[in-house]
Amino acid sequence: MRYSIPALALCAPLAACNPAAQPANTSVARDPAADVAAVKAVEAEMLAAFKAKDSAEVARFYTADAEIMVPFEAVVRGADAAKSTGQDFKDPAFTIDFANTRTEVSAAGDMAFTHGTFSVTYTNPATKEPGTMKGNYVTVFRKQADGSWKAVQDISTPGAG
């Protein structure tokens, strides 16, 4: 502790050599409405891939570190999205629909979330009969270096929509 004052005295001149952090480039205007529209478009493309039962296309919408949480199932990681949905798509009763009710993009324009309701029909393993589950979902998107949006968290819960 006895060296703190001399050490600070040595650091002060060095600090002067480093310019203060510059604020983010504010000359590039963001268009929040365009960001919202882009996220909604990605979500619509995701739904089309689910309806087409195209597991490779579905997986394209998730980051490699994404987490997909569906009711009563283990968490699926992004890299396993194609394998997981491929299993779902083998079910002849499988259908899915979801409706976006809210989309927000962060002030920085790098993160967004969507919220809405879903309905999925599947073969109930216990009864071997088609069953339907309805509920709500939240999907968190992160803007990628190329400007595209990909899901990093996709969470659904059963209940009234």
pLDDT digit of tens for each residue in the chain (161 aa)? 333 333 333 333 333 333 343 444 444 568 999 999 999 999 999 999 999 999 999 999 999 999 999 988 899 998 788 888 888 999 999 999 999 999 999 999 999 999 999 999 999 989 999 999 999 999 999 999 999 999 999 999 999 86
Query: In this predicted structure, what is the pLDDT of residue 28?
Result: 56
Model pTM score: 0.79
- What pLDDT is attached to residue 72? 86
In the structure, how many helices (H) and strands (E) does the chain have?
4, 6
Q: Where are the domains of the chain?
A: 32-158
**For position 161, what pLDDT does the model report?**
62
Alpha helices, DSSP H, located in 22-126: 32-51, 55-59, 81-89
What is the reported pLDDT for 82? 81
Mapped onto helix, strand or coil, the DSSP state of residue 6 is helix
Chain-centroid distance of CA 127 in Å reads 33
State how far the Cα of 150 lies from the Cα of 127, in Å rounded to an integer.
36
Closest by Cα among 36, 41, 28 to 105: 36
Please say whether the structural domain 32-158 has been given the CATH code 3.10.450.50.
yes
